Amino acid sequence: MTHPLHHAAAGEVLLELVDVARWFDVSPPWLNRVLERKPRVLLRAVDGVDVTIRRGETLGLVGESGCGKSTVARLIVGLYAPTRGSIRYDGVTLAGQGAEAADAGAQRQARRSMQMIFQDPYASLNPRWRVEDIVAEPIRVQEGDVARADLDARVGALLEQVGLAAADGIKYPHQFSGGQRQRISIARALAVNPAFLVCDEPTSALDVSVQAQVLNLMRELQQRLGLTYLFISHNLAVVHHIADRVGVMYLGRIVELAPTRRLFTQPQHPYTRMLLDAVPDLSMTGKSRTAVAGEVPNPLDPPPGCTFHPRCPLADERCRREVPKLLPAAAGGEAACHAVEDGRLPAREGAPA
């Protein structure tokens, strides 16, 4: 079933994050701090993210573990409230300045229009419920009393839409494979006809062959239903396959944002280059691969200036004292890097002329 309303304004901004941050207080108890004379300790999981997602596109978000990708996902769907910044969806302010004055009904409708697919398809499904109850639950919550026959028909159609059989509804999650369980998660997310899906590493727990099946299913559903995706992953190959644009995160900030093809052929930020240089490439068989150098700094005590400067071969004094802004790069896209801004970025070996 096609949903023309999802296609109606393709290309316009659907989701906008402005200077979004989320800090967690991980301090010892108050009495310990007083006796030991220690200050409060804040973990800056997300520290100033600016990004927009256009209707109908897939934005990939990549980075090493602990960079803040999943926290961004939880901020968008409302599982966390931002420490600062604002989140707007389809013209409605959901969090931050102006959220209290926004129409409550419009906010509920916006929240209903976004759903989330989690990383572990087994942990996110209630093992005591039959699949038909799992998929029907969002419909019951959002629409109240629905006739049983109508509910059964809708659940059966949703299961068939993701490649399962309507008869599978009587089974329990443990009776399915990992890939089938993720299809159930997708069916549950589609139950209330959302326009936007937040996909938090939805294929990382699956075998490679099953990953391809689930990714192809998601692309097919996007084209048929006019969906918009935020696709979070640490697997660059997966992101290259599904994303229209890619954002690279490092220690709570987006350091590069560009169309997928441009980012993979002409990466600007040194961190992006290090990630891509570490990916095995059949065309470069026999050449040594460069591992990502150094260790991720302690997020409780991040370095001053550019947080990547301790690992960056191009770092100078400005990098050590001044936080770079996400600015347009000459090659296209945006990069938060003083070396890119100053024109100090060397040509990348093997890059197209």
For residues 307-332, give the mean pLDDT. Answer: 91
For 110-167, write each residue's pLDDT tens digit: 999 999 998 888 888 999 999 999 999 999 988 888 888 999 999 999 999 999 999 9
The answer to whether position 253 is within a domain reads yes
For residues 313-335, give the mean pLDDT. Answer: 91
For 45-77, write each residue's pLDDT tens digit: 999 999 999 999 999 999 888 899 999 999 999
Q: Domain containing 232: what range?
A: 4-342
pLDDT for 286 equals: 55
Is pLDDT at 10 greater than 60 in this prediction? no
pLDDT for 199 equals: 94
- From 7-11, 31-35, 125-129, 307-311, the region with the lowest mean pLDDT: 7-11
Is pLDDT at 352 greater than 80 in this prediction? no
For 197-240, write each residue's pLDDT tens digit: 999 998 887 888 888 899 999 999 999 999 999 999 988 888 99
pLDDT for 204 equals: 83
How many whole angstroms separate alpha carbon 67 and alpha carbon 201? 14
pLDDT for 289 equals: 56
CATH code for position 167 = 3.40.50.300
pLDDT for 98 equals: 82
How many whole angstroms separate alpha carbon 320 and alpha carbon 43? 20
Alpha helices in the chain (DSSP H): 4-7, 30-36, 69-77, 104-112, 131-143, 148-161, 178-190, 208-225, 236-242, 260-265, 270-277, 317-321, 338-342
The answer to whether position 123 is within a domain reads yes
The answer to whether the CB of 192 falls within 8 A of the CB of 115 is yes
Inter-CA distances, 328 with 65, 197, 255, 335, Å: 26, 27, 11, 6
Is pLDDT at 301 greater than 60 in this prediction? yes
β-pair type (13-25, 42-54): antiparallel
pLDDT for 119 equals: 85
pLDDT for 203 equals: 86
Nearest to 326 by CA among 267, 251, 255, 252: 255
Is pLDDT at 282 greater than 70 in this prediction? no
The answer to whether the CB of 297 falls within 8 A of the CB of 307 is yes
Domain count, the chain: 1
Nearest to 132 by CA among 164, 160, 169: 169
Percent of the chain with pLDDT over 90: 63
The answer to whether position 349 is within a domain reads no
- Hey, what are 76's tokens? 């968008």
Rg of the chain over Cα atoms, rounded to whole angstroms, equals 22
The answer to whether position 195 is within a domain reads yes
The answer to whether position 245 is within a domain reads yes
How many whole angstroms separate alpha carbon 48 and alpha carbon 224? 34
Strand order in the sheet with 58-62: 114-117, 196-200, 228-232, 58-62, 245-250, 253-259, 334-335, 327-328
Average pLDDT, the chain: 88
Q: How many CB atoms lie within 10 A of CB 114?
A: 23
How many whole angstroms separate alpha carbon 308 and alpha carbon 252? 11
β-pair type (84-89, 228-232): unpaired
pLDDT for 9 equals: 53
Is pLDDT at 294 greater than 50 in this prediction? yes
For residues 25-39, give the mean pLDDT. Answer: 89
The answer to whether position 348 is within a domain reads no
Partners of 254 in the β-ladder? 249
pLDDT for 57 equals: 96
The answer to whether position 158 is within a domain reads yes
Q: How confident is the model at residue 6 (pLDDT cuts 50, 70, 90)?
A: very low
The answer to whether position 353 is within a domain reads no
The answer to whether the CB of 135 falls within 8 A of the CB of 184 is yes
pLDDT for 230 equals: 96
pLDDT for 235 equals: 86
